[in-house]
Amino acid sequence: MTSSSQTRASPVENDSRTIKCVVWDLDNTLWNGILVEDEAVTINQNVIDVIKQLDSRGIVNSIASKNENDLAWAKLVDFGLAEYFVFPEINWNSKAQSILAIAANMNIGLDAISFVDDDAFELEEVRFTHPSVLCIESDRIEQILDMPMMNPRFVTSEAKARRAMYVADAERTKSELAFQGSSEEFLSSLNMVLTIRDARDEDLERAAELVLRTHQLNTTGYAFSFNELDAFRTSPSHRLLVSSLEDRFGSYGTIGVALVHCGERVWTIRLLLMSCRVMSRGVGTIVLNHVIDLARAAGTQLRAEFVPNERNRMMYVSLRFNGFREEFRQGDRIVLHRDMSAGGSYPEYVTLKLGNASDTYGSAPASP
């Protein structure tokens, strides 16, 4: 018979995913005691260090707790921990429902979430409802920081600021819900500026991080390593582009990567990805149209590779919407081709800044 500790350990030890958010229970997990029964709960000191270390690694913390919201939040403020949690769900809903809301608010997959709780029933309910969520018993808290999926290869300055970026996202969402007007009018009110340029040496860690973390808005999912990206960056037959976005709420940081093989007659987009945080901003289409115009300026044809997975169909739709048509299929790989008689089109609600002086073409809305 397998021991309970072995049963619990094996799924974690064999798990190769990357966790983006750890969701914490409160009673008898974050603190000792049940708050609604006795307000004199004491903080679990081991948890404080884990939360702060995860935060410094760019792994966001949140809460799914059955509790009185105002009472629990006041206690978190008293303990000096409230600032570390984004999109907390403190209510009487099921933990599975709360975790689903957190994933939706962060715009990440359930497989990027870990849930920590002391209650076997709550853990089992989440496992049953959301099998892809990594559930961890609270008596294993001290092991969390050593788990492979909690140790990203790169901890960039943007990763360290990820919590602040999600806080800004929450402000954007609040502003959007209160906005009286169309979706495009709201986007115009954000005063967005998208910068696209060739990757520099200092961009590589963030580019590699995006390649490893981004699965939904990703055309191929090719897991290029740091060294491979560096080789592409300096290769005369490739363009490795990075894009960053900012608006009136602040910076999103570097949110996109595009890798283009630049053949003499044909350019091929081997990878195009965007952070899920900008899914509703339409910037992926802008980057795609920028590449289209670069290829037109170079006098070449343009192809794009696409490798489908369970979550990236939106990228295929984007390619088709922007004039790409299937040319052939080879196994899981789809190669699309675009008629180059027409250039790219750009929405008026984004100002496009090009980081390379040579990248000027047509009527693209470039600004200094």
Give residue 16's pLDDT band: very low, low, confident or very high (50, 70, 90): low
Residue span of the structural domain in which 264 resides: 181-354
- Among the candidates 107, 135, 150, a domain finishes at 150
Q: Would the pLDDT of 85 be above 50?
A: yes
Pairing outcome for strands 301-306 and 31-32: unpaired
Q: Would the pLDDT of 161 be above 80?
A: yes
How far, in Å, CA of 243 to CA of 238, rounded? 16
Within this chain, do residues 121 and 186 fall inside the same structural domain, yes or no? no
Is residue 120 domain-resident?
yes
Is residue 134 domain-resident?
yes
The DSSP code for 366 is B
Q: State phi, psi for 39 to the nearest 5 degrees.
A: -70, -10
Within this chain, do residues 10 and 146 fall inside the same structural domain, yes or no? yes
How far, in Å, CA of 349 to CA of 352, rounded? 10
Within this chain, do residues 99 and 246 fall inside the same structural domain, yes or no? no
Q: What predicted TM-score, i.e. pTM, was given to this entire model?
A: 0.74
Three-class SS of residue 31? strand
CB-count exposure of residue 79 (10 Å: 0-12, 13-18, 19+): middle
3 state SS for 101-126: HHHHHHCCCHHHEEEEECCHHHHHHH
- Enter the tokens of residue 83: 């600032």
Within this chain, do residues 252 and 341 fall inside the same structural domain, yes or no? yes
Within this chain, do residues 132 and 197 fall inside the same structural domain, yes or no? no
Three-class SS of residue 130? coil
Buried b (16+ CB within 10 A) or exposed e, 153-186: ebebebbeebbebbebbeebeeeeeeeeeeeeeb
Give the chain's domain count. 2
Is residue 171 domain-resident?
no
Q: Would the pLDDT of 313 be above 90?
A: yes
Span 96-126, pLDDT tens digits: 999 999 999 998 889 999 999 999 999 999 9
Specify the higher pLDDT residue, 172 or 334. 334
Mean pLDDT of the chain: 90
- CATH number of the domain at 309, please: 3.40.630.30
- CATH number of the domain at 84, please: 3.40.50.1000
Give residue 276's pLDDT band: very low, low, confident or very high (50, 70, 90): confident
The per-residue pLDDT for 69 is 96
Is residue 46 domain-resident?
yes
The per-residue pLDDT for 158 is 80
Within this chain, do residues 217 and 267 fall inside the same structural domain, yes or no? yes
Average pLDDT, integer, range 20-45: 95
Instruction: Of 22-31, 107-116, 129-138, 156-165, give the lowest mean pLDDT range.
Output: 156-165
Residue 278 and residue 252 in contact, taking contact as beta carbons nearer than 8 Å: yes
Within this chain, do residues 192 and 259 fall inside the same structural domain, yes or no? yes
Give residue 15's pLDDT band: very low, low, confident or very high (50, 70, 90): low
Is residue 159 domain-resident?
no
Within this chain, do residues 330 and 193 fall inside the same structural domain, yes or no? yes
Within this chain, do residues 284 and 137 fall inside the same structural domain, yes or no? no
The per-residue pLDDT for 359 is 56
Q: Would the pLDDT of 2 be above 50?
A: no
Give Rg (Cα) of the chain.
Answer: 23
The per-residue pLDDT for 25 is 98
Within this chain, do residues 106 and 189 fall inside the same structural domain, yes or no? no
The per-residue pLDDT for 358 is 53
Within this chain, do residues 268 and 350 fall inside the same structural domain, yes or no? yes
Average pLDDT, integer, range 178-183: 92
Q: Would the pLDDT of 162 be above 70?
A: yes
Is residue 100 domain-resident?
yes
The per-residue pLDDT for 355 is 79
Is residue 155 domain-resident?
no
Is residue 225 domain-resident?
yes
Residue 152 and residue 209 in contact, taking contact as beta carbons nearer than 8 Å: yes
Q: Would the pLDDT of 364 be above 70?
A: no
The per-residue pLDDT for 41 is 95
The per-residue pLDDT for 90 is 97
- Percent helix, strand, coil in the chain (nearest 5)? 40, 25, 35
Q: Would the pLDDT of 367 be above 80?
A: no
Within this chain, do residues 217 and 95 fall inside the same structural domain, yes or no? no
- Enter the tokens of residue 269: 């987009």
